[in-house]
């Protein structure tokens, strides 16, 4: 299972600190949502026994800016995430097969509907269930976040759109273990398995993209493999 | 009052919980219990939180890591995990909460999951991102103090 985290300077802890905490919390790896953070991935992977996925979370004011960023980052990073939060950005993200994940679609003024859910399914864009406001806010803010989360869940379930789950930790202290998140998920109407599957999805995505980026991949259906040599 | 016969007493589960925080925070049993009750009440309401009946038994605080045992009614362990996950800060200090394991008796819980001291910490001057800073060092983990609060790091970030 994987968790997608913010690392210093986007968050309060460096990638290596979050990664070592994630190991203890029973995660197989972390996805770094690099907004400004650029840790030395190769070195961290060598030194730590937990996988670290090089991701980028694109924070753009509007679809035009986001579009340029997607083109820039797609060849460089293993995972490309777009932060939603407005209807325009949500719609842009789910209509781009080049985008892997639409994060926090229900934040701020963002909303979701059947059109976006269908587009997300058809383009294979994962929609993020953001548990951060459930974990770290209270009162009216939390109630609104919960009701939006419920709406998103119902749409995603009905249209069978792909999804990921994250607590969106900004430091090693905000990390929560998969079993705790599953327990919380059950309380707020999710299936236990649904939450765990959403955490596994990060890993599956990373694996798929690494295969696509590897040198042996040439085009869909065309790969360089190992063949018997002529004698 | 005379205590209940054994078959009528409630059955409990004991969760070994680790609470981590920044070095400048002070944790104690009372504040942790209050946050736990708030978390449970906000999540399940009065009825649900009375059902789960979450009580903090022991609290062993040691610099940035505290070890504690939380008692929950049997069959409500998942709710207890959910409430614990929602504890974001204790008295204004941000905390990380992790359930190490669950047992049927206090003794098994503390023997299997709690190890006493979590490791000694010391103050050291380090160079972090080309600046000289003070850090609290625990094993290979560092909490580097800066102008706007602490930054979590490890030895790997220093070289």
Q: Which residue of A has its CA nearest to B65?
A: A173
Contact A44 B20 (CB under 8 A): no
Give the distance from residue A9's alpha carbon to the nearest chain B alpha carbon, in angstroms.
9
What is the 8-class DSSP label of residue B119?
A: -
pLDDT above 60 (res B17): yes
Question: Between B83 and A38, where is the model more confident?
Answer: B83
Structure-token pair, residue A124: 């294979």
Question: Is the Cβ–Cβ distance between B32 and B68 less than 8 Å?
Answer: yes
- Facing residue for B152 by CB, picked from A134, A136, A172: A172
Contact B152 A14 (CB under 8 A): yes
Contact B85 A183 (CB under 8 A): yes
- Facing residue for B85 by CB, picked from A43, A171, A184: A184
Q: Could you report the per-residue pLDDT of A8-44, keeping only the tens digit for each?
A: 889 999 999 999 999 999 999 999 998 888 888 889 9
Contact B81 A18 (CB under 8 A): no
CA angle B37, B42, B48 (to 5 degrees): 75
With contacts defined as CB-CB under 8 Å, which chain B residues touch A48?
156
Contact A184 B156 (CB under 8 A): no
With contacts defined as CB-CB under 8 Å, which chain A residues touch B96?
21, 172-175
With contacts defined as CB-CB under 8 Å, which chain B residues touch A172?
20, 96, 152
On average, the pLDDT of chain B sits at 90
- Residue-range domain boundaries for chain B: 12-113, 121-157
- pLDDT for position B128: 86
Give me the mean pLDDT over the A164-180 stretch: 95
- The size of the A-B interface in CB pairs under 8 A is 93
Domains contained in chain A, number: 1
pLDDT above 80 (res A122): yes
- Facing residue for A14 by CB, picked from B82, B97, B157: B157
Q: Which residue of A has its CA nearest to B76?
A: A183
- Facing residue for A177 by CB, picked from B95, B98, B156: B98
pLDDT above 80 (res A230): no
Is A226 contained in some domain? Answer: no
Backbone Cα Rg of chain A: 18
Give me the mean pLDDT over the A180-201 stretch: 95
Of all residues in chain A, the percent with pLDDT exceeding 70 is: 99
- Comparing CA positions, the residue from B80, B86, B25, B91 lying closest to residue B56 is B80
Is A124 contained in some domain? Answer: yes
Q: Is A36 exposed, middle or buried (0-12, 13-18, 19+ CB in 10 A)?
A: exposed
Structure-token pair, residue A87: 């209807």
Give the distance from residue A180's alpha carbon to the nearest chain B alpha carbon, in angstroms.
5
Query: What is the ipTM, given to two decimal places?
Result: 0.91
CB contact, 8 Å: A172 with chain B? yes
Q: Give the range of the structural domain holding residue A138, as residue numbers without chain letter.
A: 62-213
Contact B152 A43 (CB under 8 A): no
Backbone Cα Rg of chain B: 18
CB contact, 8 Å: A43 with chain B? yes
Q: Could you report the per-residue pLDDT of B118-149, keeping only the tens digit for each?
A: 567 788 888 888 888 899 888 888 899 888 88
Is A114 contained in some domain? Answer: yes
B12-113 CATH, one of 3.40.50.2300, 1.20.140.10, 3.30.9.10, 3.30.70.3250: 3.30.70.3250
Is A175 contained in some domain? Answer: yes
Element containing residue B98 per DSSP (H, E): strand B93-103
Is A218 contained in some domain? Answer: no
- pLDDT for position A168: 94
Is A181 contained in some domain? Answer: yes
- pLDDT for position B27: 87
**Sign, CA torsion A21/A23/A26/A29:** positive
Is A125 contained in some domain? Answer: yes
- Residue A197's pLDDT band (boundaries 50, 70, 90)? very high
pLDDT above 80 (res A107): yes
- CA distances to A17, A193, B20, B152 from A171, in Å: 9, 26, 12, 7
Give the distance from residue A52's alpha carbon to the nearest chain B alpha carbon, in angstroms.
14
CB contact, 8 Å: A26 with chain B? no
Q: Best of A5, A32, A180, A190 to disrupt the B interface by mutation (most B CBs within 10 Å)?
A: A180
- Facing residue for A181 by CB, picked from B85, B149, B152: B85
Least confident of A41-50, A218-227, B103-112, B149-158: A218-227
Structure-token pair, residue B54: 């979450």
What CATH number should be reported for the domain holding residue A179? 3.20.20.140
Contact B141 A17 (CB under 8 A): yes
Q: Could you report the per-residue pLDDT of B21-67, keeping only the tens digit for each?
A: 998 888 889 999 999 999 999 999 999 999 999 999 988 887 788 99
* pTM, two decimal places: 0.91
- Residue A150's pLDDT band (boundaries 50, 70, 90)? very high
- Facing residue for B151 by CB, picked from A13, A181, A182: A13
């Amino acid at each position: 299972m994987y968790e997608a985290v913010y690392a210093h300077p986007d968050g309060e802890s460096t990638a290596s600190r979050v990664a070592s905490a994630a190991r203890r919390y029973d995660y197989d790896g972390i996805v770094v949502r690099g907004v400004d953070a650029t840790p030395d991935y190769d070195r961290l992977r060598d030194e730590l026994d937990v996988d670290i996925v090089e991701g980028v979370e694109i924070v753009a004011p509007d679809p035009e800016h986001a579009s340029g960023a997607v083109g820039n980052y797609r060849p460089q990073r293993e995972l490309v995430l777009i932060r939603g939060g407005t209807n325009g950005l949500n719609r842009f993200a789910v209509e781009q097969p080049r985008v892997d994940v639409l994060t926090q679609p229900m934040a701020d003024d963002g909303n979701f509907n059947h059109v976006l859910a269908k587009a997300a399914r058809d383009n294979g864009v994962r929609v993020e269930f953001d548990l951060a406001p459930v974990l770290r806010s209270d009162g009216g803010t939390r109630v609104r976040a919960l009701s939006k989360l419920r709406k998103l869940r119902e749409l995603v379930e009905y249209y069978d759109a792909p999804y990921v789950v994250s607590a969106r930790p900004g430091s090693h202290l905000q990390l929560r273990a998969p079993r705790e998140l599953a327990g919380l998920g059950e309380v707020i109407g999710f299936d236990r398995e649904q939450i765990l599957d959403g955490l596994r999805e990060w890993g599956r995505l990373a694996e798929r993209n690494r295969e696509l980026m590897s040198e042996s991949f040439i085009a869909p259906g065309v790969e360089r493999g190992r063949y018997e040599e002529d004698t | 009052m005379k205590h209940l016969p054994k078959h009528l007493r409630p059955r409990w589960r004991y969760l070994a919980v680790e609470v981590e925080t920044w070095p400048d925070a002070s944790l104690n049993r009372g504040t942790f219990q209050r946050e736990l009750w708030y978390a449970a009440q906000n999540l399940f309401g009065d009825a649900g939180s009375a059902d789960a009946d979450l009580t903090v038994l022991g609290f062993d605080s040691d610099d940035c890591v505290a070890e504690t045992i939380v008692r929950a009614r049997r069959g409500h362990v998942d709710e207890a995990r959910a409430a614990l996950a929602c504890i974001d800060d204790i008295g204004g200090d941000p905390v990380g909460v992790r359930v190490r394991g669950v047992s049927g008796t206090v003794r098994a819980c503390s023997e299997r999951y709690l190890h006493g001291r979590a490791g000694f910490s010391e103050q050291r001057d380090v160079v972090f991102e080309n600046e000289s800073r003070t850090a609290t060092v625990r094993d290979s983990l560092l909490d580097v103090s800066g102008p706007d609060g602490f930054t979590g790091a490890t030895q790997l970030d220093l070289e």
